[in-house]
C-alpha cells in the first residue's frame, strides 16, 4: 500500500509520474491505469486530485511550462552582463531539452498541438516565457515591441532545439547556446538602446 503523503506532495508525485507516462505514449494512448501504475497508487487516488485525465494533462502542461520559464529566468538572473544573460537563458533552455526530453515532447509534440485545448495551454506556457524575456529587454520601445522580440527569441530556441534533438549534431547545450546567442545578440544590439536589465 502506498505511503501516505500530504495532499501537495501526492499531487507532485502524480504529476511527475504522469509526465513520464504521457510523454512516452501521448495523451490518447495513455490510460489512467498506466499513470496510476507509474505513480505506484490506485486509480481512485488520482481521481481524488484530478477530476479527469484531461484535467490532469492540462495541469501537467502548465506545470512543465512554469518549470521551464523559472529555469530560464533563474539562469538569466544569475549571469553577469547583458550578453551573458542571453547566453545563460539559451543554455538553460537547451539543458532542459537535453535532460528532460519527456517534458519537451509534452509541450511541443504534434499530438499536443493538434488538440485545441492542449495547444492553448502550450501557447500560454510560451507566452509566459516570452513575458519573462520581454521584462529583461531594456530598450526605448513599446511593451508590444518587446514582446515581439521575446517571441522571436523563444521561437529561435524552439526551432534550434527541435533540430538538435532530431539530428544530434554533437554540440553540448553550452556550445549550441553560444552559437545561437551570437545571432540573437546581434539582433538585440540593433535595437536602439537595447540591453538586458540586471536581474
CATH code, domain with 86:
1.10.357.10
27, pLDDT greater than 90: no
Residue 37 lies in a domain: yes
> Based on the domain organization, do 13 and 96 belong to the same domain?
no
| CA 51 to the chain's CA centroid | 24
Average pLDDT, the chain: 83
CATH code, domain with 8:
1.10.10.60
Residue 11 lies in a domain: yes
Smallest CA-to-CA distance from 178 within 166, 165, 160 is with: 160
pLDDT in tens, 81-99: 778 888 888 899 889 888 8
67-71, 89-93, 133-137: segment of lowest average pLDDT: 133-137
> Based on the domain organization, do 29 and 108 belong to the same domain?
no
Task: Give 25's contacts (C-beta < 8 A, 6+ positions apart).
Answer: 34
> How many structural domains compose the chain?
2
| Residue span of the structural domain in which 93 resides | 52-193
Highest mean pLDDT: which range of 41-55, 84-98, 115-129, 171-185: 41-55
> Based on the domain organization, do 115 and 149 belong to the same domain?
yes
> Based on the domain organization, do 42 and 72 belong to the same domain?
no
Q: Render the burial of 137-175: b for 16+ CB within 10 Å, e for the rest.
A: beeeeeeeebbebbbebbebbbebbeebeeeeeeeebee
> Based on the domain organization, do 135 and 162 belong to the same domain?
yes
> Based on the domain organization, do 61 and 31 belong to the same domain?
no
pLDDT-based confidence at residue 15 (cuts at 50, 70, 90): very high
> Based on the domain organization, do 37 and 65 belong to the same domain?
no
Question: How many distinct helices (H) and strands (E) make up the chain?
Answer: 10, 2
pLDDT-based confidence at residue 154 (cuts at 50, 70, 90): confident
Residue 199 lies in a domain: no
Q: Which one-letter DSSP state was computed for residue 4? A: P
Amino acid at each position: 500500500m502506498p505511503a501516505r503523503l500530504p495532499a501537495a506532495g501526492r499531487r507532485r508525485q502524480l504529476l511527475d509520474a504522469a509526465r513520464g507516462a504521457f510523454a512516452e505514449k501521448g495523451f490518447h494512448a495513455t490510460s489512467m491505469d498506466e499513470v496510476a501504475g507509474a505513480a505506484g497508487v490506485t486509480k481512485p487516488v488520482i481521481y481524488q486530485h484530478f477530476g479527469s485525465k484531461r484535467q490532469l494533462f492540462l495541469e501537467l502542461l502548465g506545470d512543465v511550462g512554469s518549470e521551464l520559464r523559472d529555469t530560464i529566468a533563474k539562469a538569466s538572473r544569475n549571469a553577469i552582463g547583458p550578453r551573458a544573460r542571453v547566453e545563460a537563458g539559451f543554455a538553460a533552455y537547451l539543458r532542459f531539452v537535453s535532460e528532460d526530453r519527456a517534458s519537451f515532447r509534452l509541450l511541443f509534440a504534434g499530438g499536443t498541438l493538434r488538440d485545441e485545448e492542449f495547444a492553448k495551454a502550450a501557447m500560454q506556457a510560451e507566452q509566459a516565457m516570452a513575458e519573462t524575456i520581454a521584462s529583461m529587454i531594456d530598450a526605448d520601445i513599446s511593451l508590444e515591441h518587446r514582446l515581439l522580440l521575446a517571441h522571436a527569441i523563444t521561437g529561435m530556441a524552439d526551432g534550434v532545439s527541435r533540430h538538435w534533438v532530431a539530428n544530434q549534431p554533437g554540440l553540448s547545450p553550452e556550445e549550441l547556446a553560444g552559437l545561437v546567442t551570437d545571432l540573437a545578440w546581434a539582433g538585440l544590439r540593433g535595437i536602439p538602446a537595447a540591453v538586458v536589465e540586471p536581474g
